[in-house]
Amino acid sequence: MKLAIDSSQTSGSIAIHDGVRLVYSAFFDIRITHSETLMPVLDAAMKLCGYRPQDINELYICLGPGSFTGLRIGLATAKGIAYAQDIPVLGFSSFELAALPCMISGKKIISVIDAKMQEVYAAGFDVDLSSTIPPCVTTPKEILNWDLNGYVFCGSGVPRISEIASSSDITLDYAPPYYHQLKAEYLFELSRYIAPRVHQGDALADLEPFYIRESTAQMRKR
């Protein structure tokens, strides 16, 4: 059995795959922390599907960028399960997770993740999810200076982009709103297109969230 976790945003999701098909998927966007939601949701899902922790043989997780606290909680949960069961953790970025459902458009993709502080995390992909724009943190206004011809936008940062573009009378192509929310179940499919970051055993200690920039708390300490 495969378990997938995403806690990179203020929302979160989990999914269970039995090796043949998706058997469970849950998305939660409630205003309490992942420390209060993730383990109860995981426990309920496992019980509902009739699985025990020892049934998990692969664990998939979104490494970010996104919520610093959410990423730490999700990765700590994944590492704890992986250490106990001696199973691999397969990690993907938020950019990759956001981009996957947009492949159906047949267009190039720009994934934008809300970074707060009037900024977004951004990365670009070709129609086959090969990188065209390296991951970065920038402002929505700066993105409008990029060559955006043939790109469709997706991810939690789209509202920030669309607001600036609209005020500047710039027309952009956006994925449907329900694609902007990251879903853990897509992690199972990403390995068909992108090599995951795989860690197991002692190597799990080296698995860290993909932050891109320092947290607000770290910047205030300077």
Residues 46 and 58 sit within 8 Å (Cβ to Cβ): no
Are 112 and 196 members of one domain?
A: no
69 and 114 in a common domain: no
Specify the CATH number for the domain of residue 120.
3.30.420.40
Same-domain check for residues 117 and 34: no
Do 160 and 81 have their domain in common? no
Which structural domain, as residue segments, surrounds residue 158?
99-179
Same domain, 52 and 124: no
Mean pLDDT for each consecutive 10-residue tract of the chain (222 residues)? 94 95 90 78 95 96 94 95 96 97 95 94 97 97 96 96 94 92 95 94 93 58 42
| Edge-to-edge order in the sheet of strand 151-154 | 131-138, 120-125, 108-114, 151-154, 173-174
The full DSSP string for 136-202 is EEE-HHHHTTS--TTEEEESTTHHHHHHHHHHTT---EE--GGGSS--GGGHHHHTTTS--EEE-GG
Sheet hosting strand 12-17, strand order edge to edge: 22-28, 12-17, 2-6, 58-62, 89-92, 197-199
Domain count, the chain: 2
Residues 13 and 82 in one domain: yes
Q: Are residues 163 and 108 in the same domain?
A: yes
Between CA 5 and CA 41 the distance in angstroms is 11
Strand partners, 113: 121
CA separation for the pair 178, 102 (Å, rounded): 11
Instruction: Based on the fold, state whether residues 129 and 196 are members of the same structural domain.
Output: no
Residue 25 burial (10 A CB sphere; 0-12, 13-18, 19+): middle
**Domain match, 188 and 80 both:** yes
Token readout for 40 is 């109860």
Q: Do 44 and 14 reside in the same domain of the chain? A: yes
**15 and 117: one domain?**
no
Distance CA 103, CA 137 (A): 23
Same domain assignment for residues 45 and 70 = yes
- Residue 128 tokens, joined: 């086959």
Is the bond into 101 cis (omega within 30 degrees of 0)? no
